[in-house]
Structure 1
């Protein structure tokens, strides 16, 4: 089992080193810094949940998204980050960083977790590509920015996507089981 974790850790470090040494440019630094700050504190995702709740057509979607978002903030930021205690890539690999250093651990990525918490709920429940495609693109951009900026390893953000998927799926199943949701998709 330790060999698997060593393999993942080596792969993570190689991807971070390659990104840092070969993909960084001043223009991409600016773009990725902007994108990553869109996800700060999950505020944009909270605003999206509120906008959905205000819209009568998507109110239940917004409530579900807010429940998933808050559940994952508690699970990720308060429980898993501290339980796992993974050091951030820029500290572990002694890399310069272009955004402010963070005082928390690396896994899971709060930005990726909050982004995909809302994105998955919208993807699962809203049947309008003009709504879910931009949301998925924004969530993916935020996820990629975290690796590009060396604040998270690839496995941190991938684990966050898995957690967001599982929690979204469970909350939606409970909502159907309890009769809160009736429609399969909202159009």
Structure 2
């Protein structure tokens, strides 16, 4: 059964390579996926949110979520699972970018994007901001498949870890805010 899932994982990537990749999309997706390197897009947006009183809480909670995502994904899970990158095991798959971390599971880019989006969903004041955060996170997750550096199961695990980190950060903020009397 596990081998069947692994074959499906590789098959999805080969399908994307064959039917979705295009000369128009590739430069756009490549640039976007690199914006997620080291979580820089999400860190920059979180710092920007710190600059405005109405979004300051969103900035703090998302930075905490990003830290938790880094610890769980890159500090623990990638080393425990030690799954190799897809181009090393899926015959015919050509990655569009160089990825220097040999471990694939879970996707750190996806985890960071969903950690921030999850934190923002709970803390941003406007619905359009929340929806935009989730759309940006989903696009980051899809970009990792498009460029061929993660299996779909890596990305799904990254989504789940990111959502968990966003939720944990929000819970920690609520406890801290109640303790310090920051919120009614």
TM-score (norm 1): 0.88
Q: Which structure 1 segments of 5+ residues have no match?
A: none
- Between the two proteins, the alignment pairs up a number of residues equal to 180
Residue pair 2:50, 2:60 contacting (<8 A) in 1 also: yes
Task: Tell me which residue corresponds to 1:182.
Answer: 183
Task: Tell me which residue corresponds to 1:49.
Answer: 46
With 122-131 and 108-117 compared, the bigger mean Cα shift is at 122-131
> How far did residue 124 of structure 1 move?
1.6
> How far did residue 90 of structure 1 move?
1.4
Residue pair 2:96, 2:148 contacting (<8 A) in 1 also: no
> How far did residue 97 of structure 1 move?
2.1
Aligned equivalents of 2:62 and 2:130: distance in 1?
13
Residue pair 1:68, 1:117 contacting (<8 A) in 2 also: yes
Correspondent of 2:28 among 28, 31, 39: 31
Residue pair 1:64, 1:121 contacting (<8 A) in 2 also: yes
Residue pair 1:81, 1:104 contacting (<8 A) in 2 also: no
Q: Which structure 2 segments of 5+ residues have no match?
A: none
Matching of residues 59-98 of structure 1 within 5 Å = 59-94=56-91, 95-98=93-96
> How far did residue 104 of structure 1 move?
2.7
Structure 1 segments (4+ residues) deviating >3 Å:
180-183
